[in-house]
Structure 1
Amino acid sequence: MMFKKTMHISPSRLLILVFFSFITLGTLLLKLPIASITTISWIDALFTVTSAVTVTGLNTVDASGTFTTFGQIIIMILIQVGGLGIMSFSVLIFIMLRKKIGLKQRVVMQHALNQISIGGVIKLVRNLFVFSFAIEGIAVIILCLKWVPEYGFGKGIYFSFFHSISAFNNAGFALWPDNLSRYVGSPVVNLVITSLIIIGGIGFTVISDLWSSKKLKYLSLHSKLMIFGTLFVNIVSMLIIFLLEFQNPHTMGGLDTADKWWASYFQAITTRTAGFNTIDIAGLENSTVLYMLLLMFVGAGSASTGGGIKLTTFLIILLAVATFLKGKKEVTYLNRTINHAHIYKALAVTIISLLFIFFALFILNVTEDLPFMQLMYEVVSAFGTVGLSMGITAYLSTVGKGVIIFMMFLGKIGPLTLAFSLAKPDQCKVRYPQEDVLIG
């Protein structure tokens, strides 16, 4: 009934309200005495819950040593619901109760899943859950083959469940203090975790398109952009990280050649939006940190479990720049013309995101006595819902933690959703005469 009563609220504001309510509930649960081994502050509980719901992975406390099994299960549930979407779970409940899903509910789902139209939204949600649970289940079985012999039956299964959910939803939460560094050379852990990250980060629209299309040529332009772009970025990133960190004694210098390739591959995939790490992020070369900032800012795919401005947004801007330099008027790719409205949207997303990152970084440089590069890494990681850190999260002040909480929230709901929730639609139909402005 609450879902129906709030339908008069704009979709953007409703999404923010639902996320805020869910974060509040999660914070209260995590503050229960049975949720933690040692008492944690309200700000740390709020930070952890926000990080879980926004599937980021940044932590002010060690999840493995601070929370009980009950607390860790709460975090795992928050990751699953936050990754697949709170509104998606609401629709799933409607479907299970055989309730009719009206037009307004479908409009909200359109905004939540970042779809162009409301057509097929409910089918997408249904397929989303079936596919997600199936992939997570397969990953659990494979990881059990690795971790049950290592940790025992109960603990091995629990670890497999937790990290499968965390990886598929691109959360980056791990149950070891060193994250996944102990498995830097493990083929099973590397391949399973990165496969989950890629599948979860490529976007449910692409997955649905791949499922329904029999041949590659029948895929939508969005799916082709995401698939080709993901392959290119991942391969190039692996090579760049390998070359930059090959001799770094603080990261990959002490590893053998095979493990260096595994480490490079893992960091190339996880930096996009996942937040796991198998090497010490604080020990990276400045050149690697700078490159990772770009990867985190770009992020994953639309309608995925990841954050950032999205890969297609970045690619459309590059195509628009290339079109301008060639002197053409229409942005085209694979014999398809990209709508000007999508180009404007891509520019709006990018500019608004950069402005929020600038102001967050400005505030942190005023309130925190920490190196600039580390603060920038933290802010971009929070915005991209990545979760990688150079080791400063726990040392942030209350104001600093509040800024990062806001950036994680912004990265999850999207800068345009926040902008639309605050702005009033322009009803003016008046057109004004054109006049030239000097550019560049």
Structure 2
Amino acid sequence: MAYLKRLSSFFAEKFSSAQVLLTGYIVFIMLGSGLFMLPISSAEGVGLSLVDAIFTATSSISGTGLIVVDTGSYFSGFGQAVVALLIQIGNIGYMLFFALAVVFLGKKLSMVNKIIIKESISTAQLNLDLFIIKVFKYTLIIEGVAAVLLTLIFLQDFPFPEALWLGVFHSISSFCTAGFSLFPDSLIRYNDNVPFVFIIIITSYLGCCGFYVLHDVSLRLKYFFRLKDRYRLSVHSKVVLVISFSMIAIGTVVLFLVENIKQGPGKETLLTAFFQAAAAATTVGYNNMDIAGYSDPSLHAIIVLMFIGAAPSGTGGGIKMTVFAIMLIALYTFLNDRKHVHLFKRSIHPRRVARAFSIMLMAIVWNFFAIFALSITEDLPALFILFESVSALGNGGMSAGITDDLSWAGKVVLTASMLIGRVGPLIVGYTLLRNRNKADFQYPVGDVLIV
């Protein structure tokens, strides 16, 4: 452990925290790819090709869920365990695993490691030692409860050992919003099982909201039940809860109405619409019906939900719902000729606003590049290419059924998108462009016409 700590500190001193974070994910992707190429990972003893192995490892570590081979039938028990492990490490955060080991051994985190961890969980105002322990506490409790409940449901169709593994795997995949399933049809076979639908969605929603929100809400509930002084939720938690519920509710109504209008009454049930809207909004990526069967307006609605995505410090992807909220409020503020951006009677710092718009712009730019590249390498409908690109960058995991038909070049483009979506477009920008030694200065003010 001392060796790992010295190695981590060495890299952190030589490189920026963003560079260390991105490099760490790449290392785990390479390790996972090597394991997937081993014959032991395959049910038939034939490992994946290099491109498919890297694609699958990146999809696992990023919590995307796009697949080029069927997870349940292609991989052996060992291969499935590797998928689950990569999902857990990548989406809880490999730096948090390192930090937990340090804390349990009674060591202190160095300042550089604290900076990297804060980058990885997208928050800066926390007692890290306490937060790290809380992360694993919430993870074990939520995944444990979900695994038990899912196992009980799977016992109706499978023997206990298989039902237990299905329960454990899908609980990890749900909470980490990864969307990997051991069934060839994702979760279509359980599309009318109400308890199953709600277990999956609640588990993925808890992962989507983020550990900061879970901690904040748990304190609010503790104070409420103990009848103590009121504990106020943070502005961040309020934004996440309001935006997430709104996205799921609006998405459900849109999918339900559009499908029943475009394809005839009874085409879409309210339960199916709710599941698909929630799966897109949380970026868990499961589907309980054939995505390619949706009409164009519904596909566009799902694209928007995946692009916005989950909350910071959570396991989901997308540009983040807080970014979306800040941009909407900033636009409203500008149109009303006001100087300050306000959310829940609090002012948002201009640097946060600039960061939100930067993330949005970089996501749009990369998506444009990815779509342009895929339109060259693939002979597929434009809407399907758009859907696949947004799904990869937003770590949404839903597919219109074209992933396994992509060329090796197309898979490389989506692999890059998934990795960028996992670490964040802005982090990648910091990694490539930021100069640690460059002084901050200001030139005389100039003017540029906008309109």
TM-score, with normalisation over the residues of structure 1? 0.95
SS at 1:176 equivalent? coil
Residue identity in the other structure for 1:223: S
Structure 1 partner of 2:39: 33
Within 5 Å, give how 1:37-56 maps onto structure 2.
37-38=43-44, 39=46, 40-56=48-64
Residue identity in the other structure for 2:198: L
| Alpha-carbon separation, structure 2, partners of 1:240 and 1:269 | 12
| Alpha-carbon separation, structure 2, partners of 1:301 and 1:196 | 15
The farther-off stretch of 4-13 and 362-371 is: 4-13
| Alpha-carbon separation, structure 1, partners of 2:383 and 2:189 | 26
SS at 1:159 equivalent? helix
Query: Out of 92, 99, 104, which is 2:107 matched to?
Result: 99
Task: Quote the offset at 1:230 in angstroms.
Answer: 1.0
Query: Out of 196, 199, 205, which is 1:189 matched to?
Result: 196
Q: Unpaired segments of 5 or more residues in structure 2? A: 225-229
| Alpha-carbon separation, structure 1, partners of 2:114 and 2:182 | 37
Could you tell me whether the CA contact under 8 Å between 2:317 and 2:421 is conserved in 1?
A: yes
Residue identity in the other structure for 1:154: P
Residue identity in the other structure for 2:63: V
Structure 2 partner of 1:309: 319
Asked if residue 384 in structure 1 is aligned to residue 394 in structure 2, the reply is yes
Could you tell me whether the CA contact under 8 Å between 2:40 and 2:79 is conserved in 1?
A: yes
Task: Quote the offset at 1:12 in angstroms.
Answer: 0.4
Could you tell me whether the CA contact under 8 Å between 1:64 and 1:176 is conserved in 2?
A: yes
Structure 1 partner of 2:227: none
SS at 1:271 equivalent? helix
Asked if residue 71 in structure 1 is aligned to residue 79 in structure 2, the reply is yes
| Alpha-carbon separation, structure 2, partners of 1:253 and 1:179 | 22
Within 5 Å, give how 1:7-156 maps onto structure 2.
7-8=12-13, 9-38=15-44, 39=46, 40-117=48-125, 119-156=126-163
Structure 2 partner of 1:432: 444
| Alpha-carbon separation, structure 1, partners of 2:327 and 2:340 | 13
Over residues 192-248 of structure 1, what are the superposed CA-to-partner deviations in whole Å (9 max), with x where a residue is unaligned? Answer: 000011100011111111122336861111110001111111111111111011256
Task: Quote the offset at 1:144 in angstroms.
Answer: 1.7
Residue identity in the other structure for 1:52: S
Query: Out of 265, 272, 278, which is 2:274 matched to?
Result: 265
SS at 2:198 equivalent? helix
* Alignment RMSD: 1.5
Residue identity in the other structure for 1:345: R
SS at 2:387 equivalent? helix
SS at 1:149 equivalent? coil
Within 5 Å, give how 1:203-242 maps onto structure 2.
203-213=210-220, 214=223, 218-242=232-256
Task: Quote the offset at 1:254 in angstroms.
Answer: 5.1
Query: Out of 5, 8, 11, which is 1:6 matched to?
Result: 11
Could you tell me whether the CA contact under 8 Å between 2:122 and 2:313 is conserved in 1?
A: yes
Could you tell me whether the CA contact under 8 Å between 2:192 and 2:271 is conserved in 1?
A: yes
Structure 1 partner of 2:358: 348
Query: Out of 372, 389, 395, which is 2:382 matched to?
Result: 372
* Count of aligned pairs: 433
Residue identity in the other structure for 2:20: L
Query: Out of 217, 221, 246, which is 2:260 matched to?
Result: 246
Percent sequence identity is 33
Over residues 379-435 of structure 1, what are the superposed CA-to-partner deviations in whole Å (9 max), with x where a residue is unaligned? Answer: 000001010000110111111000000000000000111111111344142331232
Could you tell me whether the CA contact under 8 Å between 1:143 and 1:188 is conserved in 2?
A: no
Over residues 324-361 of structure 1, what are the superposed CA-to-partner deviations in whole Å (9 max), with x where a residue is unaligned? Answer: 11121111122111111100000000001100000011
| Alpha-carbon separation, structure 1, partners of 2:290 and 2:350 | 43
TM-score, with normalisation over the residues of structure 2? 0.93
Could you tell me whether the CA contact under 8 Å between 1:148 and 1:154 is conserved in 2?
A: no
Could you tell me whether the CA contact under 8 Å between 1:23 and 1:50 is conserved in 2?
A: yes
| Alpha-carbon separation, structure 2, partners of 1:371 and 1:304 | 33
Could you tell me whether the CA contact under 8 Å between 1:247 and 1:253 is conserved in 2?
A: no
Distance 1:122-1:146 versus aligned 2 partners, 3 A rule: same
Task: Quote the offset at 1:253 in angstroms.
Answer: 4.3
Structure 2 partner of 1:294: 304
Could you tell me whether the CA contact under 8 Å between 2:387 and 2:399 is conserved in 1?
A: yes
Could you tell me whether the CA contact under 8 Å between 1:170 and 1:305 is conserved in 2?
A: yes
Within 5 Å, give how 1:267-286 maps onto structure 2.
267-272=276-281, 273-286=283-296
Could you tell me whether the CA contact under 8 Å between 1:53 and 1:78 is conserved in 2?
A: yes
Over residues 243-279 of structure 1, what are the superposed CA-to-partner deviations in whole Å (9 max), with x where a residue is unaligned? Answer: 01125669x9456xxxx11101100110121110001
| Alpha-carbon separation, structure 2, partners of 1:102 and 1:90 | 12
Q: Unpaired segments of 5 or more residues in structure 1? A: none
Task: Quote the offset at 1:153 in angstroms.
Answer: 0.7
